[in-house]
């Protein structure tokens, strides 16, 4: 049984939550109903424990988790007061449900703490708003929630406490170590060190690094949905997944071919070793995000120094005095002189980006509770409330998946409250539970979930009715069965299926509502109509509110991300060319295009995570969708690399660069225009444009301009010449992405 659980419940996360709930929830219910003799207190204590222990699990150090649970308890108290005060007037209950539902769901854009609390918070309002009672019962309800909160904080501290590490940290650390091992092996082979590994051994090391990257991607796809778009630590780790995937791609494109190949310049293999040291320090920090990030910072400074030395050394190696007749072989030979240096520069830049994100994740982990709650970025000078307001305002945009889901959920719950009051069904919160449990982000999947929810409820009701018939007048047996039912209700959704979890949850409620009473199995069967009403509401709302759901939003977000990233790449190259003049552009340009590309990438991340969270079949294979998402990362990193290459340059009295600038500008225009066409094809469901071929004639003209115009009075290449060659290499790296992206985009358009 334990082996089966580990296979179906990774890290036994659901089993841990279910076990705690199975111990705490029956104990609280018994205390309130049998010792204190208060059924309202027992009901709210039971559901409070169920929501706080089973529906949410906060991350971070235990102190921060306790503060989060305390905040959740306070929010429960406030929502119970609002729900109790408005429940007796139908129109007021409906209006408050829409407002509260939208506020709770949309507030998740602020931080992962708020987003993971959405379902338990909605349950806190659903219970009182669907159960009108005199205000005299409000103190008993609040006391029940207080008992649940106290028991919950004891349980998460003493009963099987969870690890404080993020589920992506360990696989990301393994990728960093495997990539570092590959860089060290390659550097040793390139430097012809004594005892250096063979090319075959380097290939084996590269295979391990590639497998580690695949395991990280699989772990990312399997991680439960979190609002990574606006949570600092989560956003950093998700960017880290993309950047490690991109690093793996770069390393796969530049394999070490043979022991007797051309030797690597000394500065390049020193840079590779420095990058390996950074990756190892990053792995150390990922394994303990509470550790001191200073070793990573020191290693990053050494890598930057090694890359600067490599750039200086490259000026000596570029053979600007060698005639080039324009043939493809000679052009490639000329550019190939800097190939090892460029690959090391590309790897070094990607490694520095990874180090920055790991450091950001560590600083986010070490924030205080209030800053974490409001998603304040480490080192931000703004006030937490101002930062939270700005993030929320950024998602008040018609294409925002978060806005769509918040409006859909709020309207669905409002309709469910109105329907429950009009039909006067008994235990009307079953209608809202049905609405809440099956409402997803597109009509097709909502329909599938509705069928599963009804089927699960039917099975659970039949099992519950049969159980009550067997128990008869021996109602005390239900006390023994309650913990077992809770345990199954907690494990089944994660380990078996949504329908099985719905059935187990139904049996749990059947037992809970019949404890201490004469078991009545006839009433149990009426719950089927209640849950069916809720499922019908979900399906109706999904059909009229963005029926294509996250899939359509993902396509739109992909198109916007490619369009903005292509514009950013073109602007980065224009900025680089502006640095080649006597009056260079300021070093902070082009910030607008960079911010726009980053914002589009965050919206894409939100849409992609929503798409992953949808149940049901995907029209496009997940691997193809992931390829398109990763392509955006590669395009943005190419632009970032060009900016980093030229930002610190100073204007010097060097020869004319007009020809080289013209060739680079033409290449950048061709590449960025292709990605703009790809964005249009994704938005309009058209086949992707054919990938660009390598333009050897343009490369020959660029080489000739570098050889003729970018040499100093001693006939040696200038640093500008090296940067121009490397800028062309970054553009070519963006071009090399195109065949794979075009293939998957065309396949998706046909699907």
pLDDT at 151: 93
What is the mean predicted confidence (pLDDT) over 522-529? Answer: 57
**How many CB atoms lie under 10 A from the CB of residue 579?**
20
In terms of pLDDT, which residue wins out, 461 or 38?
38
CATH class assigned to 551-750 = mainly alpha
Residue 331 pLDDT level (bands cut at 50, 70, 90) = low
What is the mean predicted confidence (pLDDT) over 349-364? Answer: 84
Residue 717 pLDDT level (bands cut at 50, 70, 90) = low
CATH architecture assignment, domain 169-365: Up-down Bundle (1.20)
User: In this structure, what token pair is assigned to residue 491?
Assistant: 């494990």
pLDDT at 600: 82
Rounded CA separation 312/746 (Å): 43
CA 253 to chain centre: 26
In terms of pLDDT, which residue wins out, 610 or 596?
596
Write the pLDDT tens digit of every residue in 533-563: 655 655 565 555 444 455 666 788 888 889 9
Do 30 and 479 form a contact (C-beta atoms < 8 A)?
yes
Rounded CA separation 221/226 (Å): 11
The helix or strand, by DSSP H or E, that contains position 189, with its residue range, turns out to be helix 169-190
Rounded CA separation 349/655 (Å): 28
- The region of weakest confidence among 150-154, 306-310, 713-717 is 713-717
Rounded CA separation 262/268 (Å): 13
| CATH code 1.20.58.220 region(s) in the chain | 551-750
Do 454 and 433 form a contact (C-beta atoms < 8 A)?
no
């Amino acid at each position: 049984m334990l082996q089966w659980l580990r296979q179906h419940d990774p890290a036994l996360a659901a089993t841990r939550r279910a076990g705690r709930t199975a111990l705490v929830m029956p104990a609280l219910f018994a205390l309130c109903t049998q010792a204190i003799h208060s059924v309202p207190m027992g009901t709210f204590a039971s559901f409070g424990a169920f929501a706080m222990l089973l529906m949410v699990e906060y991350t971070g150090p235990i102190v921060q988790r306790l503060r989060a649970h305390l905040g959740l308890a306070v929010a429960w108290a406030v929502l119970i007061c609002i729900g109790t005060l408005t429940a007796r007037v139908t129109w007021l209950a409906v209006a408050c449900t829409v407002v509260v539902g939208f506020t709770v769901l949309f507030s998740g854009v602020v931080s992962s703490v708020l987003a993971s609390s959405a379902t338990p918070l909605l349950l806190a309002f659903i219970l009182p708003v669907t159960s009108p009672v005199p205000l005299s019962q409000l103190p008993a309800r609040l006391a029940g929630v207080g008992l649940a909160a106290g028991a919950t904080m004891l349980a998460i501290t003493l009963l099987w406490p969870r690890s404080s590490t993020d589920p992506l940290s360990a696989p990301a650390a393994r990728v960093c170590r495997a990539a570092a091992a590959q860089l060290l092996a390659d550097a040793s082979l390139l430097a012809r060190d004594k005892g250096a590994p063979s090319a075959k051994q380097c290939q084996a090391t590269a295979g391990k690094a590639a497998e580690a990257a695949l395991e990280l991607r699989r772990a990312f796809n399997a991680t439960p949905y979190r609002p990574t778009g606006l949570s600092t630590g989560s956003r950093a780790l998700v960017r880290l997944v993309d950047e490690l995937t991109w690093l793996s791609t770069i390393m796969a494109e530049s394999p070490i071919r043979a022991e007797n190949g051309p030797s690597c310049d000394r500065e390049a293999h020193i840079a590779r070793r420095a990058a390996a040291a950074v990756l190892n320090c990053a792995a150390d920090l990922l394994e303990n995000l509470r550790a001191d990030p200073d070793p990573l910072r020191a290693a990053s400074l050494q890598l930057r120094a090694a890359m600067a030395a490599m750039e200086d050394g490259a000026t000596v190696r570029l053979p600007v005095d060698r005639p080039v007749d324009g043939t493809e072989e000679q052009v490639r030979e000329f550019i190939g002189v800097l190939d090892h240096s460029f690959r090391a520069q590309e790897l070094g830049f990607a490694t520095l980006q990874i180090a920055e994100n790991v450091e950001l994740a560590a600083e986010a982990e070490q924030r205080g509770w209030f800053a974490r709650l409001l998603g304040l970025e480490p080192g931000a000078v703004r006030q937490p409330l101002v930062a939270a307001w700005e993030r929320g305002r950024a998602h008040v945009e018609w294409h925002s998946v978060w806005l769509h889901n918040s409006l859909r959920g709020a309207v669905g719950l409002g309709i469910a409250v109105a329907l429950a009051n009009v039909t006067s069904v008994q235990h009307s919160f079953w209608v809202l539970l049905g609405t809440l449990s099956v409402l997803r982000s597109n009509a097709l999947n909502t329909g599938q979930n509705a069928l599963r929810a009804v089927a699960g409820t039917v099975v659970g009701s039949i099992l519950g009715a049969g159980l009550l018939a067997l128990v008869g007048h021996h109602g005390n047996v239900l006390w023994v069965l309650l913990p077992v039912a809770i345990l199954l209700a907690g494990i089944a959704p994660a380990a078996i299926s949504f329908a099985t979890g719905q059935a187990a949850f139904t049996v749990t409620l059947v037992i809970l509502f019949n404890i201490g009473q004469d078991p009545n199995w006839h009433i149990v069967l009426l719950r089927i109509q209640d849950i069916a009403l809720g499922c019908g509401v979900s399906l109706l709302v999904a059909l009229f509110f963005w029926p294509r759901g996250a899939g359509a939003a993902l396509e739109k977000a992909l198109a916007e991300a490619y369009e903005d990233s292509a514009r950013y790449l073109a602007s980065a190259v224009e900025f680089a060319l502006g640095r080649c003049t006597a009056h260079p552009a300021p070093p902070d340009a082009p910030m607008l295009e960079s911010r726009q590309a980053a914002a589009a990438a965050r919206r894409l991340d939100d849409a992609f995570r929503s798409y992953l969270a949808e149940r049901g079949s995907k029209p496009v294979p997940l691997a193809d969708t992931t390829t398109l998402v990763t392509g955006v990362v590669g395009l943005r990193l190419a632009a970032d690399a060009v900016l980093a290459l030229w930002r610190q340059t100073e204007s010097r009295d060097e020869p004319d660069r007009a020809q080289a600038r013209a060739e680079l500008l033409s290449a950048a225009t061709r590449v960025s225009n292709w990605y703009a066409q790809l964005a249009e094809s994704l938005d309009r469901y058209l086949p992707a444009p054919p990938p660009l071929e390598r333009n050897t004639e343009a490369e020959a003209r660029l080489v000739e301009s570098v050889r003729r115009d970018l040499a100093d009075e001693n006939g040696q290449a200038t640093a500008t010449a090296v940067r121009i060659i490397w800028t062309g290499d970054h553009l070519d790296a963006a071009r090399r992405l195109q065949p794979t992206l075009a293939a998957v985009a065309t396949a998706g358009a046909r699907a």
